[in-house]
């Protein structure tokens, strides 16, 4: 599996601004091969970005999805709708969604199941907040998020899933903006990997699951973080709004 670098533009950029940034990235990143690069703009910018990155080495992702195909679910979007724009990936369970929209592990589990049934690759975000880390609960939080979000999910050899480990307190806009010590990130990665092999066969975990790190990743720190065992890429927020910085991050992961 190629390394995967995902830009999460969150609720920034109007559709025309998003298209401009995508165009810039398309030019800067055109020589990047053997790396999967994904842009996740907001819903309203999916169309404009999709037109820019069509037939390039950049794929499209969404920041959220609902688990039903259609119906009275005001404000939500279905997998089918997102696929019409060319989305191949969708972020689920981002800490912003958990925090402001009260998404639970149970809801996230339904989203993951719907994604896999609908042929979309889910990017499951997990991570402890500062209080949980201080109280020594980080390991338990990761374990419960993984087991509850992935409950009854049997990954088929043709399916992929991405786990983005993002300690909430390390996210630039919602936390302290501090980057975690590399040794602590490694410890969390070991734990996530161990939990995954408790859930699924080893070959599935090694061939169909990519584990990413997210939280204040930039061009500099990504070089250090890319040495982590089992890391397969990054989920990038703030730094992905700057094409040069995003390109540096991409260069740093092998």
Which residues of this protein are in contact with ligand PGA, per CB under 6 A?
Answer: 8, 166, 171-173, 214-217, 235-239
Contact 211, 230 (CB under 8 A): yes
Helix pair angle (243-252, 15-28), 10° resolution: 40
Of 77, 94, 132, 159, the catalytic one is 94
62, two tokens: 């969404």
Which C-beta is closer to ligand PGA: that of 29 or that of 221? 221
Of all residues in this chain, which one has the CB nearest to ligand PGA in the complex? 237
What is the smallest separation between the CB atom of 148 and ligand PGA, expressed in angstroms? 20
Q: How far is the CB of 37 from ligand PGA (least distance, A)?
A: 15
Q: Which is nearer to ligand PGA, 133 or 204 (CB)?
A: 133
Q: Let me know: does 165 contact 192? Beta carbons within 8 Å.
A: yes
> Rounded to an integer, what distance in angstroms lies between the CA atom of residue 24 and that of residue 76?
30
Long-range contacts of 184-187 (CB under 8 A, 24+ apart): 185/213, 185/225, 185/228, 186/228, 186/229
Cβ distance to ligand PGA smaller for residue 79 or 167 = 167
**Does the annotation count 166 as an active-site position?**
yes
Tokens 């981002």 belong to 94
Left, alpha or beta for 136 (phi > 0: left; psi -120 to 50: alpha)?
A: left
Choose between 70 and 173: whose C-beta lies nearer to ligand PGA.
173
In degrees, rounded to 5, the angle at the alpha carbon of residue 218 between the alpha carbons of residues 212 and 221 is: 80
Catalytic residue among 103, 128, 159, 166: 166
Q: Is 94 a catalytic residue?
A: yes
CB of residue 4 to ligand PGA, shortest distance in Å: 13
Cβ at position 239, least distance to ligand PGA in Å: 6
- Active site (catalytic) residues: 94, 166
């Amino acid at each position: 599996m190629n390394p995967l670098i995902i830009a999460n533009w969150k609720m920034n950029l109007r559709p025309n601004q998003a298209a401009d940034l995508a165009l810039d990235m398309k030019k800067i990143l055109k020589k990047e091969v053997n790396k999967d690069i994904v842009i996740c703009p907001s819903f309203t910018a999916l169309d404009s970005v999709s037109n820019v990155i069509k037939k390039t080495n950049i794929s499209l992702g969404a920041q959220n999805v609902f688990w039903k195909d259609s119906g009275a679910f005001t404000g939500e979007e279905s997998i089918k709708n997102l696929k019409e724009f060319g989305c191949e990936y969708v972020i689920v369970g981002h800490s912003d969604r958990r925090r402001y929209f009260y998404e639970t592990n149970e809801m996230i589990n339904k989203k993951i199941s719907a994604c896999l049934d609908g042929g979309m690759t889910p990017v499951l975000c997990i991570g402890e907040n500062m209080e949980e880390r201080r109280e020594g609960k980080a390991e338990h939080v990761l374990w419960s998020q993984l087991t509850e979000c992935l409950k009854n999910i049997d990954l088929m050899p043709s399916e992929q899933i991405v786990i983005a480990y993002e300690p909430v307190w390390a996210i630039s806009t919602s936390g302290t903006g501090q980057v975690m010590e590399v040794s602590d990130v490694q410890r969390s990665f070991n734990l996530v990997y161990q939990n995954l092999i408790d859930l699924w066969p080893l070959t599935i975990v090694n061939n169909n699951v990519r584990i990413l790190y997210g939280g204040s990743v930039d061009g500099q720190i990504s070089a250090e973080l890319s040495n982590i065992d089992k890391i397969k890429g990054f989920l990038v927020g703030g730094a992905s709004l700057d094409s040069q910085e995003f390109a540096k991050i991409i260069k740093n992961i092998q």
